[in-house]
Structure 1
């Protein structure tokens, strides 16, 4: 079953700072409470991001880093979650008030009986990660 889970939040920071954080590829272990370590091999498109969490390993292949559209796309190639396909797209937009709006969309495929639980996990984890990124950006401002 193909499922789309979108999380959008206005951040208390500029879109330039938010995009710099996202395009840096790393940092997920600082932002996401469930991620213990984050290590990157390579840079830009084709890089691999390896993460550990209590339940296993995650590996992402970076598919796109588009500075003009502030869009970052990754394919999850290794996951401890019950998915057969997982692609994330992170986009940063300008709000009318000069703040950043982050739109993080996950497209995943799973068995029908798993889709609701995976969608809930993804929504909570991504929301926590966005909050963590915002805290780090505000602390460094």
Structure 2
């Protein structure tokens, strides 16, 4: 069964600065409490982002789009320890005035009924905390 998590938050930093952080692909270990390490293999579209979770499990993202004009990054997560399939994420950054931006992080995935609500809560919390971490870094 399909599920969607959408986190939208305002960041008091110029949209280009927020986009630069997202487009850099790495850094998730600085923003997301659940991620203890993050490294990137390759560059741009086709790169692999490899994350180690706090419990030692590994996740891998494949970058499928980096659109600087639209300030949009898309990725797929084929490797993760969670009971979900077809995990896809989109991060978009929009101007919200001269020195602020709106960041929208959307994740879509498939999960069976037994795990759907648990995964919605876990992913929503993780993304929200990660965006808060990014915001704290960029607003400092």
Unaligned runs of 5+ in 1: none
Distance in 2 (alpha carbons) for counterparts of 1:80 and 1:12: 34
1:1-49 Cα offsets, whole Å, 9 max, x none, are: 1111100001111111100000000000000001010010001000000
Q: 1:13-32 alignment to 2 at 5 Å?
A: 13-32=13-32
Q: 5+ unaligned residues in a row in structure 2: which ranges? A: none
Q: Distance in 1 between matches of 2:112 and 2:101?
A: 35
Shift of 1:77: 1.1
Shift of 1:97: 5.9
Q: What is the rounded CA distance, in whole Å, between the counterparts of 2:123 and 2:15 in structure 1?
A: 23
Task: Map 1:1-141 onto structure 2 (within 5 A).
Answer: 1-53=1-53, 54=55, 56-96=57-97, 98-139=99-140
| TM-score, structure 2 as length reference | 0.96
Aligned length: 139
Shift of 1:55: 5.3
CA distance in 1, matches of 2:47, 2:38: 13
CA distance, structure 1, for counterparts of residue 86 and residue 61 of structure 2: 12
- Whether the 8 Å CA contact 1:11–1:100 is kept in 2: the answer is yes
Asked whether the 8 Å contact 1:28–1:38 carries over to 2, the reply is: yes
**Displacement over 4 Å in runs of 4+:** none
Q: Structure 1 length normalisation: TM-score?
A: 0.95
User: How far apart in 2 are the matches of 1:46 and 1:97?
Assistant: 32
In 2, Cα distance between the equivalents of 1:52 and 1:126? 16
